[in-house]
Structure 1
């Protein structure tokens, strides 16, 4: 399978735009898959209606109209929150209705790591019953520092010990939360444990982190794309273009959305970079 056939576009990059326009744009880029983004705190407020059967059916109708598919859902939330089990089970049922296999989520704060692990022990079998895999993701800010390094993630997998729990690694998050570690080396360590993967590049400024076109940041994606290609791994461009991170890692959402023209250019150039790296491998 061509590597672009396994690539999805995460809809966080379209934050603030109509979903119909977003999907038409994805189709125009020659990509066949979508990762819907329902990440708490990153794309505006979420309510339970967003995870209803009616909303799932609506999203499926939009996908069908554009000839697109989905196999992953971005649904980061604090897995140690008081209502985390109930809320994440809602997301699992929603994913099942969408026909999604992979639920990508960051974890929560390190101080609540024990609760996160215990909750995952209950959630993983529930995910399996619904044909899903929970893919925990390394955090990009201190709200989600229970999983910082690839080793942190693998340790959680070992403690939970269930086949419906895997990793969704994001080298871009390593830049802000694990600045002393090599994103490429971290990805290499994580990949055997991944069922899904996020790609985004990062630029480090004096006071913030931003997310440029793939290949224009500081991450060496050549070995990463080669490994993704060899493993036939599903992956997505997860680039919250409207968002930046302060120097202390915490996210800042821009007041207005990026234009569709800029989004399209960034995605088109990023896809071309992925294709080029895969061909060079």
Structure 2
């Protein structure tokens, strides 16, 4: 099995980080993606201080886990994003991760993004941390609306420090189910530093987030094809189970955290499915 697999702490929204790490390790996980995503979990900018990075690194060590990527989303086209992303890259380096996943921003601010990257790419090289822009799961007018947009951005920037985090579930929901990622993902693999595995079950009432393999996306086909292609891009299991999307509206968080037993079962089921399918070919 070529791909390293991690589990995002987004699944454990509402619980302290040590709890999430121990649960992931207990479920058989070897690596974790620390998630600081507005709307998914609660956090503020103090999360990215050296002191907190040291605390997170200790917690990772105590749980026997490593970290390859940090999800720490900002709108990278805004002026304040330069300092925000510098803090996030420093945080990632301090905990042993070499990928920061973030948002590119709207297509209307493409030039602003390119100007920000002129300042961020030297910092990424110095920190040895790749900036991986993620395609969105809701809204409209995003710079990374399609795989063609993603490829165009990476090609136009022309730096190995700027790549894509291809979120498979987001393609499905952002396109309102018009694009099926199992027929779409290969076109962007050359520009991918990391992949998010996120599954949704589509019903007439809307979308619900599920364990990987239990939703409406053909993950069996995707994972087996990744294995056939010999992809080595890390894959992150992202289970935002606390989020709701009735009527296919923008996601919102349920008022209370889910029971740990429910999260634990979803993580274990997802890990078993992903490991099995990546090893099937």
More moved, 55-64 vs 75-84: 75-84
Distance across 2 between alignment mates of 1:101 and 1:255: 33
- Aligned partners of 1:140 and 1:249 also within 8 Å: no
Q: Name 2:171's counterpart in structure 1.
A: 174
Aligned-residue offset at 1:277: 1.3
Aligned-residue offset at 1:155: 0.8
Q: Name 2:201's counterpart in structure 1.
A: 203
- Aligned partners of 2:168 and 2:195 also within 8 Å: no
Aligned-residue offset at 1:47: 2.2
Aligned-residue offset at 1:55: 0.3
- Aligned partners of 1:10 and 1:236 also within 8 Å: yes
More moved, 248-257 vs 63-72: 248-257
1:132 and 2:117 matched: no
> Normalised by the size of structure 2, how large is the TM-score?
0.93
SS at match of 1:280: coil
Once the two structures are superposed, the pairs formed by residues 77-156 of structure 1 within 5 Å of their partners are 77-142=74-139, 145-156=142-153
Task: Kindly provide the CA deviation profile for residues 62-96 of structure 1, in whole angstroms up to 9, marking residues without a partner as x.
Answer: 11111111110001111122311111111111112
Q: Name 2:272's counterpart in structure 1.
A: 272
Distance 1:136 1:144, change over 3 A: farther
Q: How many residues align?
A: 278
- Aligned partners of 1:121 and 1:160 also within 8 Å: no
> Normalised by the size of structure 1, how large is the TM-score?
0.93
- Aligned partners of 1:24 and 1:66 also within 8 Å: yes
Gaps spanning 5+ residues in structure 2: where? Answer: none
- Aligned partners of 2:28 and 2:268 also within 8 Å: no
Distance across 1 between alignment mates of 2:219 and 2:249: 22
Q: Name 1:15's counterpart in structure 2.
A: 13
Gaps spanning 5+ residues in structure 1: where? Answer: none
Task: Kindly provide the CA deviation profile for residues 216-263 of structure 1, in whole angstroms up to 9, marking residues without a partner as x.
Answer: 111111232134432122111011111123545522111111111000
Which residue of the other structure, out of 69, 73, 78, is the alignment partner of 1:76?
73
Distance 1:119 1:249, change over 3 A: farther
Alpha-carbon RMSD: 1.8
Distance across 2 between alignment mates of 1:144 and 1:17: 34
